[in-house]
Amino acid sequence: LNVNAAAAANILRGNDNFLILTHKKPDGDTLGCAAALCLGLRAIGKTAFVLENPETTPRYAPMVAPLYADGNFKPQTVVAVDCASRDILPANAQNFAVDLALDHHPTNTHYAKLSVVAPEEAACASVVAAVLRKLKVAVTPEIATALYVAVSTDTGCFSYDNTNAAAFALAAQCAKDGADITAINREIFRVKTRARIALEGAILGGIEFAFDGRAAIAVITRELILSCGAVEDDLENIAAIPVSIEGVVAAFTIRELEDEPGKFKISVRSAPGFSSSEFAQKFGGGGHAGASGFSKTASVETIKTIILQALTEYFA
Amino acid sequence: LNVNAAAAANILRGNDNFLILTHKKPDGDTLGCAAALCLGLRAIGKTAFVLENPETTPRYAPMVAPLYADGNFKPQTVVAVDCASRDILPANAQNFAVDLALDHHPTNTHYAKLSVVAPEEAACASVVAAVLRKLKVAVTPEIATALYVAVSTDTGCFSYDNTNAAAFALAAQCAKDGADITAINREIFRVKTRARIALEGAILGGIEFAFDGRAAIAVITRELILSCGAVEDDLENIAAIPVSIEGVVAAFTIRELEDEPGKFKISVRSAPGFSSSEFAQKFGGGGHAGASGFSKTASVETIKTIILQALTEYFA
């Protein structure tokens, strides 16, 4: 059942003992939304916790880890943020029935009893901020910071195609509410580790082009990651690199998974006119028009061949 | 004499035949402000032109070149935008007495008869937008686009330390007013030419560190630029690269000038705690706390030595 932000706020107000779920491979939007919603619910007197997400990286851990539920917490109301489907929930979240989903993915499967799905929003942060406004939460600098992390990361610091007036307006409000935007911008968008610099250099040198430069393929093996001394945080948004090159319409980053050697995640990024989600759906994946992904257990060469074959019909 | 935006608007309303001046090595802020002010003045029935800036790059030319005054135009009112001092004006602007300066540089020398100087603003665009609001200009998509170019470039797509609530609020308003933020973000902040990619790769590989990684020096010779096939537009904001590395407090980009071989522009970028402008002032330059520059005719090695010697007192 679809509801709007006001109805969602009413439902939250009438319930208590909240557990907030985030998605696998958690990004700034799901974790920032979880932190903001949890702190907001606490601010109006509710008991609220975030379910531990085992894949949370050190970058975001300080924001959410202090809000994690311990094993004894018995939730009455379960809310998922930025989660498009049940199978994107981490293993430890699979047994919970989800009461409310706050999301912005057009592909949301309505796995929750109630859903606020706003595909027009750049980030789920705008949905959470709207709910917090309806709840009349006094936004603290900590809440504003979590919302700013969410909206800024999901828009690539306001540079991606999903950036819109609402995203800027939310950022302006976060800044007014005391979010430490300077520290976040510096840490997430500007400062690069030496490992990241080495990795970017290697990727830039190894990109392969096809179809007159309209397609680009980057490969990131475990060997490369280890040789650069890179960790998970160093890989964030690395798939944005090949699609940033002039003339590239469809870009693919083939990245070997840490926990499953020989299995690769293929991130698809595209310019308008090429649907990343349609492409990924052919291989059992999904996502947005401009950003999607799928997985494949095969050799890098085989994956490249599969991609190039599937591209032939687009670029014929 | 200092005035506020309302007083500046009154003065503009009471005059006509405007010529708008921009600064040397024009960036998105000065050119976007010039275009927005020129179009805004025309929208309220004034005659207004921008003085041709011979250093305008192909990226920004489509925005301002159609607004250039021809040789016959006799200006009555001269307005400079984003120009901190008279000597930053191009040669063809040196003979004009400046009636009004709209600026955000704290180092503005008050060379104009009247000045609106708002050092708290991230971009001069916020000053121009405030004046246009006071003039009750109906902001067209074209004006909004020019203002968005200005505020987005001066904040590094909202990632630099100067980014603030007012910058985000202006961007939100520009988006609502029909600015083509997707095209601008793509063209200026995301799409990189192959030449830029090659140049970045070479720079990343050649950065020298000093003082335990707190200082970083990058060198860009004409030879490197030519070997990468790079043109002026490919070099925009290149000085932001070495200061983006973790641990770096003060970063220097030594770049050989195209028109004066053997003369170098040294761009200084710094983290809070190190004043780029104080450093540059020692060598006859200037700028902001986080971003400044100066020029030097010497060998690269001599320039490096001079920088490292001057840094010794900071990092002692």
Whether the per-residue pLDDT at A205 is higher than 80: the answer is no
Query: E strands within chain B?
Result: 18-21, 48-50, 77-81, 100-103, 114-117, 208-210, 215-220, 250-256, 263-270, 286-287, 291-297
CA angle B258, B260, B264 (to 5 degrees): 80
Question: Would you place residue A202 in the very low, low, confident or very high pLDDT band (cuts 50, 70, 90)?
Answer: confident
Whether the per-residue pLDDT at A16 is higher than 90: the answer is yes
Question: Would you place residue A299 in the very low, low, confident or very high pLDDT band (cuts 50, 70, 90)?
Answer: very high
Give ipTM to 2 decimals.
0.86
Beta strands at B114-117 and B263-270: parallel, antiparallel or unpaired? unpaired
pLDDT tens for each residue of A244-292: 999 999 999 999 998 888 999 999 999 888 999 999 999 999 888 889 9
Q: Which chain B residues are Cβ-neighbours of A204 within 8 angstroms?
A: 197, 200-201
**What confidence score (pLDDT) does residue A281 get?**
95
Please tell me if residue A183 touches chain B, with a CB cutoff of 8 Å: no
Cα(B14)–Cα(B12) distance, integer angstroms? 5
- Find out whether A51 and A93 touch, Cβ atoms under 8 Å: yes
- Rounded mean pLDDT of A1-11? 96
Question: Which candidate in A185, A207, A237 is best for mutational testing of the B interface (most B CBs within 10 A)?
Answer: A185
More reliable by pLDDT, B203 or A168: A168
Task: Give the number of residues written for chain B.
Answer: 316
State both tokens at A214.
């309209």
State both tokens at B44.
């309220």
Kindly tell me the sign of the dihedral angle through the C-alpha atoms of A163, A169, A175, A179. Answer: negative
Beta strands at B114-117 and B100-103: parallel, antiparallel or unpaired? parallel
The alpha carbon of residue B293 is apart from the nearest alpha carbon of chain A, in Å, by 20
Instruction: For the sheet with A263-270, list strands across it.
Output: A208-210, A215-220, A250-256, A263-270, A291-297, A286-287
Place of tokens 């955000």: B104
Could you give the 3-state DSSP secondary structure of residue B82? coil
Question: Mean pLDDT for each 10-residue chunk of chain B (316 residues)?
Answer: 96 98 96 98 98 95 98 96 96 97 95 97 98 98 98 96 96 98 93 88 85 95 93 89 92 93 94 92 90 95 97 88
Q: Which chain B residues are Cβ-neighbours of A181 within 8 angstroms?
A: 163-164
Please tell me if residue B96 touches chain A, with a CB cutoff of 8 Å: no
Out of A77-91, A148-162, A229-243, pick the least confident: A229-243
Please tell me if residue A157 touches chain B, with a CB cutoff of 8 Å: yes
- Rounded mean pLDDT of A40-46? 98
Interface A–B counts its CB contacts (< 8 A) at 105
> Between chains, do A175 and B164 touch, taking CB under 8 Å as contact?
yes
**What confidence score (pLDDT) does residue B201 get?**
82
Query: Which one-letter DSSP state was computed for residue A70?
Result: P
The alpha carbon of residue A121 is apart from the nearest alpha carbon of chain B, in Å, by 14
> Between chains, do B165 and A175 touch, taking CB under 8 Å as contact?
yes
Cα(B10)–Cα(A69) distance, integer angstroms? 60
State both tokens at B42.
């025309």
CA distances to A247, B92, B222, B256, B297 from B260, rounded to whole Å, are 33, 19, 10, 8, 9
**What confidence score (pLDDT) does residue A203 get?**
86
Whether the per-residue pLDDT at A45 is higher than 80: the answer is yes
Kindly tell me the sign of the dihedral angle through the C-alpha atoms of B13, B14, B18, B21. Answer: negative
**What confidence score (pLDDT) does residue B288 get?**
83
**What confidence score (pLDDT) does residue B82 get?**
98
What residues contact B75, with CB distance under 8 A and at least 6 apart? B17, B18, B19, B49, B69, B96
**What confidence score (pLDDT) does residue B197 get?**
85
State both tokens at A178.
């005391």
pLDDT tens for each residue of A131-141: 999 999 999 99
Cα(B267)–Cα(B251) distance, integer angstroms? 8
**What confidence score (pLDDT) does residue B204 get?**
80
Please tell me if residue B204 touches chain A, with a CB cutoff of 8 Å: yes
Cα(A229)–Cα(A250) distance, integer angstroms? 29
CA angle B157, B158, B162 (to 5 degrees): 125
Cα(B228)–Cα(A198) distance, integer angstroms? 20
**What confidence score (pLDDT) does residue A286 get?**
86
**What confidence score (pLDDT) does residue B232 get?**
85
| Closest residue in B to A201 (Cα–Cα) | B201
The alpha carbon of residue A93 is apart from the nearest alpha carbon of chain B, in Å, by 34
Question: Which candidate in B161, B176, B190 is best for mutational testing of the A interface (most A CBs within 10 A)?
Answer: B190
- Rounded mean pLDDT of A25-33? 97
Specify burial of residue B269 (Cβ count, 10 A radius: 0-12, 13-18, 19+): buried
Please tell me if residue A237 touches chain B, with a CB cutoff of 8 Å: no
Q: Which chain B residues are Cβ-neighbours of A159 within 8 angstroms?
A: 157, 185, 189-190
**What confidence score (pLDDT) does residue B174 get?**
98
